[in-house]
Amino acid sequence: MKRKVWLAMLMLASALALGACGSKDAEEDAAEEEMEDDEDDEDRKDRADRDDVDGPANELLRKIKGQLDPDAAAAEEAAADTSEDTSEDAAEDTEAADTDEAADDAADTAAEQGPGTFTYTYDSNVLTISGSGVLNRDALEASGANEVIDRVENLQVVLEEGVTAIGNSAFVNCSSLTSVEIPGSVTSIGEKAFGGCQNLTSVEIPDGVTSIGEKAFDGCQNLTSVEIPDSVTSIGEEAFCYCQNLTSVEIPDGVTSIGEGAFDECISLTSVEIPDSVTSIGEKAFYYCRNLTSVEIPEGVTSIGGGAFYGCQNLASVTIPGSVTTIGEQTFAQCESLTGVEIPEGVTSIGREAFCGCQNLASVTIPSSVTLIDSSAFGYCGLTSVTIPNTSTIVDASAFDSSVTVQQ
């Protein structure tokens, strides 16, 4: 009798649970609406995230487990203890993030120190800028070079030695700019320095540059190649976002973090090399890079942000290292070409919708270290059965489709 009550209550909780993944059409409609919102939003940073689906149904399910299955309740307490144990690791990650943030702040401070003094010459569509110090928008206006920038088509810019930093918004929305030569004296490229330069086709960043600021090349839609030197340690948020013709990028050894949305919507990107020095991949770092076919995440990466590889429709294989402890929400959602994934021992939680919409995912290996599989984690996948080796693992009622046989 108790078993029947348990099953009835479990079915009630499942019916109440909010289906975050939903049907395929709903997913595609939501993706299209999000893309349309992106185009209307100038910065494309504050895209509307989905509402949290942890609702009263899941709370009810936990209560049922506690009342009718003491072992399940004990498992949840054990999971909570595990969470506390990992808090120290999270604190270390936060400390590392603070270090990166401090480095970024220092770069921003350098970029925004008083503008330098510059002069320019112009001949046959080539604008040569010489002087010393930080080259920002104010410095360009003071030199008069901005007048050339505003009126000349197919402009080539040559920056001579002496420029120490390309400041925030220096060449922002310069649609006539097709190429730029950056001297070795430059150490930082500021926020939106070349943002919106739609006709910039290639850029070689010299050795000596240590940081690439937030949205530095955002919206450079015709940028096909970029060389990032080994001296770079920080790639800012949305640094190359919406560079729709960028086909490949090699991230140098020395970069420790790939910022949120760094390569967001680089739809022509087919390959990326992530070095061993990287420890974190930010949220939506490679969001909707739909032509990315494979990615190897190096040992040492401990966190993969939510939506990091969302919508990578041609991603057929991915290597997740044993150093990863958490797979965030929607990390690999809508990766329709992904056929199999091996989750390494050491991963403790698989987030909401982590693999939702991976229609061709036929097999998945879940290690005994996993203690939580969240809602719709494998919703609308090609799975028919799955084995969860850890009997104390908390599995959300909607983690798998109802057609999937779950064995423990």
First-residue to last-residue Cα distance in the chain? 22
As averages over each run of 10 residues, the pLDDT of the chain (408 residues) reads 40 39 44 46 42 40 42 45 45 47 49 75 96 94 92 94 96 95 96 96 92 97 92 95 93 93 96 92 97 92 94 94 94 96 93 96 92 96 90 91 89
With respect to residue 360, please indicate whether it lies within any of the assigned structural domains: yes
Q: How far apart are CA 192 and CA 107, in angstroms?
A: 14
User: Which domain covers residue 321, as residue numbers?
Assistant: 247-408
Listed residue (47, 36, 92) closest to 330, CA to CA: 47
107 inside domain = no
pLDDT tens, residue by residue, 148-206: 998 999 999 999 999 999 999 999 999 999 999 999 999 999 999 999 999 999 898 99
Asked if residues 111 and 213 have their Cβ atoms less than 8 Å apart, the reply is yes
In this prediction, residue 25 carries a pLDDT of 43
Residue 113 pLDDT:
55
Region of 376 please: left (phi>0), alpha (psi -120 to 50) or beta: left
The CATH number of whichever domain residue 315 belongs to comes to 3.80.10.10
Whether residue 149 contacts residue 174, with contact meaning beta carbons closer than 8 Å, is answered with yes
Q: Is residue 353 domain-resident?
A: yes
Residue indicated by tokens 């096909």: 224
pLDDT of residue 84: 46
Do the Cβ atoms of 338 and 317 come closer than 8 Å? yes
Q: Which residues contact 71 (CB under 8 A, 6 or more apart)?
A: 392
Question: Maximum distance among all alpha carbons in the chain?
Answer: 90
Q: Mapped to the 3 state alphabet, what secondary structure does the chain carry?
A: CHHHHHHHHHHHHHHHCCCCCCCHHHHHHHHHHHHHHHHHCCCCCCCCCCCCCCCHHHHHHHHHHHHHCHHHHHHHHHHHHHHHHCHHHHHHHHHHHHHHHHHHHHHHHHHCCCECEEEEEEECCEEEEEEEEEECHHHHHHHCHHHHHHHCCCEEEEECCCEEEECCCCCCCCCCEEEEECCCCCCEECCCCCCCCCCCCEEECCECECEECCCCCCCCCCCCEEECCCCCCEECCCCCCCCCCCCEEECCECECEECCCCCCCCCCCCEEECCCCCCEECCCCCCCCCCCCEEECCCCCCEECCCCCCCCCCCCEEECCCCCCEECCCCCCCCCCCCEEECCCCCCEECCCCCCCCCCCCEEECCCCCCEECCCCECCCCCCEEECCCCCCEECCCCECCCCEEEC
Closest to 375 in 3D by CA, of 2, 5, 20: 20
Q: Strands 234-235 and 211-212: what pairing?
A: parallel
What is the value of pTM for the model shown? Answer: 0.72
Residue of 199, 151, 155 whose CA lies nearest to 173:
199
329 contacts 349 by C-beta, under 8 angstroms? no
What pLDDT sits at residue 297?
Answer: 94
> Does residue 78 fall inside a structural domain?
no
In a domain, 134, yes or no: no
**Residue 31 included in any domain:** no
Task: Kindly tell me the burial class for residue 62, based on how many C-beta atoms sit within 10 Å of its own C-beta (0-12, 13-18, 19 or more).
Answer: middle
213, part of any domain: no
Both tokens of 337, joined, read 């070409």
The whole-angstrom separation of Cα 377 and Cα 355 is 6
**Residues 317 and 294 sit within 8 Å (Cβ to Cβ):** yes
Tally of domains within the chain: 1
Q: CA distances (Å), 273 to each of 18, 227, 277, in order? A: 38, 13, 12
- Confirm whether 396 is domain-assigned: yes
